Amino acid sequence: MILTGPEIIAATRVGKISISPFSRDQVNPNSYNICLGETLVTYADGVIDAYRPNPTEVTKIDSEGFVLRPEQLYLGHTVEEVGSDVFVPLLFGRSSVGRLGLFVEITAPIGDIGFHGQWTLMLSAVRPLRVYPGMKIGQIMFFVSHGDIELYSGKYQRAVGPQESRYWRDKMGTT
């Protein structure tokens, strides 16, 4: 089951969902709008190596916005810190942003129960597109879980800002 907007509000009030900052204006009939943070990370080398740490470059988006280029993957982040120890969160791009040609969450929309932090957004534009900090870029839905819960305690817990891949740590057996 998916939580409705009123249920998201109620769960936030009693601490079953944490959203900070929280704004009632961002609640939809069955989701919560999330906004784009001011930091973007890109990989600096022409080839990304899954088995090694990769150098990155950091860009701050100012009030003039920033133009995303089609040939580049950008790692952004949500303004909001979101999490739940009870519900399963899923993050998707907003349809109005998709209609501009922006893919927000390419392959990883599901969040783990117990994750709390800013979400890293995998941004890919099909043509040059100017984005702005604070723009509503996606929405998170919350699903009821069934069964025993083991809370997430992995390598991205308490994330602040965009987090580059740590896949290479999996190969090395570290978290």
Domains of the chain, CATH where assigned:
5-172 (2.70.40.10)
Task: Write out the E strands in the chain.
Answer: 18-20, 32-35, 39-43, 56-60, 66-68, 74-83, 87-93, 102-103, 116-125, 129-131, 136-144
The whole-angstrom separation of Cα 40 and Cα 133 is 10
What digits encode the pLDDT tens for the residues 54-76? Answer: 999 999 999 999 999 999 999 99
* pLDDT number for residue 15: 97
Record the pTM.
Answer: 0.90
Average pLDDT across the chain, whole number: 93
* pLDDT number for residue 172: 60
* pLDDT number for residue 76: 96
